[in-house]
Structure 1
Amino acid sequence: MRLAVAAWLLLAACAVQAASSVHGKVVGVADGDTVTVLSAKNKRYKIRLQGVDAPELRQAFGRQSKKALSDLVFGQPVRVQLQGKDRYGRWLGKVLVAEPGCRAAHCPLTLDAGHAQITRGLAWWYRAYAKEQSVVDAATYAHAEKQARAYRLGLWQTKKPTPPWVWRRKH
């Protein structure tokens, strides 16, 4: 009985945690799918973009992917919809930033940085974790990757780009 109650409390805590969000500023970009956000309360969050897997830095298009993400989010205010943590202790989340051309005093944080990476052909939609995304996000990311492939954008310029999860196993 105690185990069942403990499991229920853990699940409830995870649900509350998954529904939370963080507002802050991006103070670091590790690669094409990982950023560091400094919250308004000066807490650092290492965020892995939910539903995205970008080329590793030593992999083809790895540096381009990092630069594109950095150009989009570095030094910018963001809102992160937290989805829990990965096995490395990084937060998983959907990072929302203002559209790059916005000139308003307070631009709405509506551009999904992960989706932008996929749209540019600088990341894969991480199908293996599609169940962790909303149905809408999974469909949107899948379509973005399909379009990037069709238009041969970014890493899709090569005939058979190596997915990062395959590259990591080899290296």
Structure 2
Amino acid sequence: MKKLNLSLLIFFAAIPVLANDDITGKVTTVIDGNTVEILGDDNEKHKVILTGIDCPELTQAFGENAKRHLEKMMLNKKVVVKFKGKDMWGNRLAIVLIKGETDPRIDLLKEGLAWTSERNPDPELENLRIRAQEKRKGLWKEPTPTPPWTYRREQTMMEAKSS
């Protein structure tokens, strides 16, 4: 009985501890600067948006730069995905850690390739954005860069006018 208990203890100690929805997998596609597709170890595909940041749209200045930067960091890398809910359109939001430890959001903000979220920005992430802006890194080289949420609203209004 003691051998069985010890074996079970060793077995369960070896299993990585993940929260309810957390998964591990590999980044198979970088869609844009803050959206990736992950093939989970369960063989399911998961499309996730990095929570807490918003990168320029691909048709905006620095949008392609943000995507390329994220590809260099994440494409074909093992990741841990910590789901944080959904946005108002039903997209899954998550913190995605490369090899379980490196947070790409930090690098995107430091390089001036992302804004913090429009609503309720995380204070730590906001400090990184402010530092990049002060150093005029990336999109902050522009005198008045357009935030992606403003750009999307403008695009929607232009589409509505042309219909």
TM-score for the superposition, normalised by structure 2 = 0.80
Over aligned residue pairs, what C-alpha RMSD do you find?
1.4
* Other-structure match for 1:75: 76
Indicate whether 1:118 and 2:119 are aligned: no
Q: Whose radius of gyration is greater, 1 or 2?
A: 2
1:127-146 equivalence runs, <5 A: 127-130=118-121, 138-146=122-130
For residues 69 and 141 of structure 1, what CA distance do their matches in structure 2 show? 17
* Other-structure match for 1:29: 30
For residues 124 and 20 of structure 2, what CA distance do their matches in structure 1 show? 20
* Other-structure match for 1:38: 39
- Please list every run of 5 or more consecutive structure 1 residues that lacks an aligned counterpart in the other structure: 1-17, 99-108, 131-137
1:53–1:19: structure 2 CA closer, same or farther, 3 Å change rule? farther
How much does 1:127 deviate? 3.6
Which of 129, 140, 146 is matched with 1:162 structurally? 146
For residues 91 and 22 of structure 1, what CA distance do their matches in structure 2 show? 13
* Other-structure match for 1:104: none
Amino-acid identity (%): 36
Moved over 4 A (4+): none
Structure with higher RCO (Cα < 8 A, 6+ apart):
1
* Other-structure match for 2:160: none
For residues 91 and 148 of structure 1, what CA distance do their matches in structure 2 show? 27
Give yes or no for contact 1:19–1:83 (8 Å, CA) kept in 2. no
How much does 1:19 deviate? 5.3
Q: Partner letter of residue 22 of structure 2?
A: S
How much does 1:129 deviate? 4.0
